[in-house]
């Protein structure tokens, strides 16, 4: 009796596997084989983005890759990227094991979530970030204070280098962290505050190791039990634990010092919503873990992108002194020595165009944030099958206890 059952079970498993591993007919072209994702590992080209550009020269703007039963698609170029960004069915995010480590293994935050939670939390976040001055002149005072500090720091670095060679490292990223922190937690980091450096190091350490793309740990999460050091699991956990504990400290301080009904910063707004409002309903997407997720996401998404854009600005100016001169002349003419304001932008067309060109050329997020197909759909005529979220079937397997 047992043998026939085992045979039926075994045959069903093989058929299921063969069906799942089969590459759909109109799947985008790419390197052959059932593990073609291995084409992304090439010791001659360590930069994944450059490797993808080379692959796209061979296979076109939509490349299909496989890892046994899983499918990955890489798009490049204006047409394909526009097709993806305009397709609501492709607005999903992967259930990224490594990225979820930041929120105790749960899918929280706004960067790597989708569906109702993402919609509601994104709306809340955008609304309150705007209230707190994002994209508005009210944040200018904080930004200009950081700019003064930055100029002093740059002068000191240049002055202390007899050779004229300087390493800029995190010079531009630290002020960005400080501005983001001011919006989130209502306090500016003082110059040389070790907390800013520690926070930046945890954010960059974690985000570089968990970009949501294919990795050994993402493909085979169980390996963290077998080889936590080799898979990078311990590395991720060290960074995220540090980051979480510094954010947790500030949340605790906010709980004690805040006055209900009066919100000083993003944390106050969120704590208020946990006290009353939408957080109280049973199917609410508001939670403490979600608050932690949003704060970490803002640092991951905002710090290096903005900081490195400024770094690229300096590099391109050095390479193009004639552009630097024209920008300087326009700024001198319009500002007449005073500090800049967002309202000056309309009178600085050459400077604005230069900034846009810097963003176009200085690609700070070449792989952007991964998307998944929520339903069967297409991109430039190729079929993209709906992603089966296996992690969702066993969510508790990924819950961790991190404080």
Q: Which residues contact ligand HEM by CB under 6 A?
A: 110-111, 122, 297-298, 301-302, 305-306, 309, 364-365, 368-369
Closest residue to ligand HEM, based on beta-carbon distance:
302
Which of residues 20 and 361 has its CB atom nearest to ligand HEM in the complex?
A: 361
H/E stretch holding 353:
helix 349-361
List residues bridging with 201 in a β-sheet: none
Q: Which CB atom, from 334 or from 380, has the smaller least distance to ligand HEM?
A: 380
CB of 314 to ligand HEM, least distance (A): 14
Taking alpha carbons only, the member of 149, 163, 159, 127 closest to residue 278 is 127
Determine contact, residues 90/384, Cβ cutoff 8 Å.
yes
**Which is closer to ligand HEM, CB of 56 or CB of 309?**
309
> Is the Cβ of residue 23 or residue 380 nearer to ligand HEM in the bound state?
380
CB closer to ligand HEM out of 60 and 302: 302
- Stated as kind and residue range, the H or E segment containing 71 is strand 70-75
Read off the tokens for 15: 């058929």
| Least distance in angstroms from the C-beta of 56 to ligand HEM | 17
Distance CA 398, CA 101 (A): 8
Distances (CA, A) of 339 to 140, 178, 181: 10, 19, 23
Q: Which two tokens stand for residue 343?
A: 């309202």
314 vs 364, which CB is nearer to ligand HEM? 364
Minimum distance, C-beta of residue 366 to ligand HEM, in the bound complex (Å): 9
Least distance CB 135 / ligand HEM (angstroms): 10
- Of the candidates 301, 291, 278, the one whose C-alpha atom is nearest the C-alpha of residue 252 is 291
- 88 within 8 A of 372, measured Cβ to Cβ: no
Buried/exposed code over 191-222 (b: 16+ C-beta within 10 A; e: otherwise): bebebbeebbebbbbbbebbbbbbbebbeebe
Q: How far is the CB of 140 from ligand HEM (least distance, A)?
A: 15
Kindly report the number of other CB atoms within 10 A of residue 86's CB atom: 9
Q: Rounded to the nearest whole angstrom, what is the least distance from the CB of residue 76 to ligand HEM in the complex?
A: 13
Quote the least distance from Cβ 48 to ligand HEM, whole Å: 15
| Closer Cβ to ligand HEM, 284 or 305, answer by number | 305
């Amino acid at each position: 009796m047992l043998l026939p059952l085992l045979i039926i079970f075994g045959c069903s498993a093989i058929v299921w596997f063969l069906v799942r591993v089969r590459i759909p007919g109109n799947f985008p072209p790419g390197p052959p084989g059932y593990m073609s994702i291995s084409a992304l590992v090439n010791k001659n080209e360590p930069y994944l983005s450059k490797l993808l550009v080379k692959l796209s020269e061979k296979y076109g703007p939509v490349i299909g890759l496989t890892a046994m039963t899983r499918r990955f698609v890489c798009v490049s170029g204006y047409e394909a990227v526009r097709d993806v960004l305009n397709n609501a069915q492709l607005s999903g995010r992967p259930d990224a094991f490594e990225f979820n480590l930041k929120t105790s293994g749960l899918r929280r935050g706004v960067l790597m979530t989708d569906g109702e939670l993402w919609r509601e939390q994104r709306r809340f976040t955008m609304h309150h970030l705007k209230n707190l001055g994002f994209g508005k002149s009210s944040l200018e005072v904080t930004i200009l204070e950081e700019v003064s500090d930055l100029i002093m720091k740059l002068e000191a670095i240049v002055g202390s280098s007899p050779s004229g060679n300087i390493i800029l490292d995190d010079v531009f990223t630290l002020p960005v962290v400080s501005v983001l922190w001011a919006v989130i937690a209502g306090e500016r980091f003082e110059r040389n505050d070790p907390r800013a450096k520690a926070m930046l190091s945890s954010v960059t350490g974690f985000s570089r190791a968990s970009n949501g793309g294919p990795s050994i740990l993402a493909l085979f999460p169980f390996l963290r039990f077998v080889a936590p050091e080799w898979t990078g699991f311990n590395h991720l956990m060290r960074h995220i634990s540090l980051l979480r504990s510094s954010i947790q400290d500030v949340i605790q301080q906010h709980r004690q010092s805040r006055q209900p009904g009066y919100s000083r910063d993003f944390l106050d707004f969120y704590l208020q919503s946990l006290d009353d409002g939408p957080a109280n309903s049973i199917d609410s997407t508001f939670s403490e873990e979600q608050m932690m997720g949003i704060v970490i996401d803002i640092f991951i998404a905002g710090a290096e992108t903005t900081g490195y854009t400024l770094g690229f600005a300096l590099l391109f100016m050095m390479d193009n002194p004639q552009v630097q001169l024209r920008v300087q002349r326009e700024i001198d003419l319009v500002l007449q020595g005073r500090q800049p304001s967002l309202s000056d932008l309309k009178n600085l067309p050459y400077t604005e165009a230069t900034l846009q060109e810097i963003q176009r050329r200085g690609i700070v997020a070449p792989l952007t944030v991964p998307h998944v197909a929520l339903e069967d759909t297409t991109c430039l005529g190729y079929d993209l099958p709906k992603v089966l979220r296996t992690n969702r079937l066993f969510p508790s397997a990924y819950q961790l206890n991190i404080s």
